[in-house]
Amino acid sequence: MVFEELDGLLTENEKKVYLALLQIGETTAAKILEKTGLQNSVFYRTIHRLIEKGVVSFVKKGQIKHFSSAKPEVFVTQLRDRQEAVKQILPDLKEIQKVASVKTDAEVFVGIKGVKAMYHTLIEDSRPGEEYLFFGTMLDIFEESMSKIYLPFRKYRAEKKIIVYGIHKKEFKGKVTPFVRTKERYTDFPLPPNMAIFRDKVAITSWGEVPTGILIKSKDVVNQYRELFWELWKMAGKSKKS
């Protein structure tokens, strides 16, 4: 059984829901209930836990939530202590996922684990030398966001050997230590905070009572923010010289 190696990572009901999503692809609660045979209340408790674990995301279409499974690699990035065991089941999980052809344009990730999963998903198949752009976080949440999300992600990003460009507000000067292959500038101009741009995706994090991440796949949106980034990058470079 493919899911035997996930014992301790997912409960039996979580396995049922995750497997259903791999098989169906993006879908509504009604179809998952039909596929799994779970009771309504059990399903909603289960899907909420999967979202918190970062292995399921959702997008609203009108008033209806459509759920999607994260790529199977999320188990590797989230749970390094079970890395080898999970790697062994990835081919089987990927074969199941091939039947799902519908992809969403936006995904929502809830909670700390969910936001971590979003950032890892953003660069998981990156190649050394690719460009990653980001706008820094806000000062009032700097310490919390760095310790819980960004510092571990910076280490993972460095391992991927991608080239990173970042822009921070000037009050962060001296607070942020650049990693290898990271170039960072500072500016007084307003910035869209907690945003990353990579390939055809934009990742945005909201630090409210419950941290929430939104991963948008759109060439048009990416091109707009990439153009804004490089304009602000040039302006930050000029202010640095003056």
pLDDT in tens, 33-44: 999 999 999 999
Question: Of 104, 124, 159, which residue is a domain's last?
Answer: 104
Domain tally, the chain: 2
Answer yes or no: do 12 and 50 share one domain.
yes
State which residues form the domain around 166.
111-241
Answer yes or no: do 149 and 200 share one domain.
yes
End-to-end alpha-carbon separation of the chain, Å? 64
Answer yes or no: do 41 and 116 share one domain.
no
Residue 81 burial (CB count, 10 A): 6
Answer yes or no: do 146 and 35 share one domain.
no
Answer yes or no: do 92 and 124 share one domain.
no
Question: Of 74, 104, 134, which residue is a domain's last?
Answer: 104
Q: Where are the alpha helices (DSSP H) in the chain?
A: 12-24, 29-36, 40-52, 74-78, 83-97, 111-123, 142-145, 151-159, 219-241
Q: pTM for this one?
A: 0.62
Distance CA 118, CA 137 (A): 16
Q: Using 70 as the pLDDT threshold, list the residues of the chain that sit under it.
A: 1-8, 74-89, 92, 95-104, 139-142, 176-180, 238-242
Distance CA 126, CA 106 (A): 20
Question: Of 59, 79, 104, which residue is a domain's last?
Answer: 104
Answer yes or no: do 150 and 67 share one domain.
no
Listing DSSP states for 109-177 in one string gives EEHHHHHHHHHHHHHTT--TT-EEEEE---GGGHHHHIIIIIHHHHHHHHHTT-EEEEEEEGGGTTT--
Answer yes or no: do 77 and 137 share one domain.
no
Q: With contact defined as beta carbons under 8 Å apart, do 30 and 43 qualify?
A: no
Find the helix packing angle between 40-52 and 12-24, rounded to 10°. 80
Answer yes or no: do 90 and 123 share one domain.
no
Amino acid 192: pLDDT:
86
Q: Specify the CATH number for the domain of residue 56.
A: 1.10.10.10
Answer yes or no: do 226 and 141 share one domain.
yes
Amino acid 208: pLDDT:
78
Gyration radius of the chain's alpha carbons: 19
Answer yes or no: do 208 and 115 share one domain.
yes
Q: Specify the CATH number for the domain of residue 165.
A: 3.30.870.10
Answer yes or no: do 146 and 219 share one domain.
yes
Answer yes or no: do 57 and 148 share one domain.
no
Residue 223 burial (CB count, 10 A): 12
Amino acid 1: pLDDT:
47
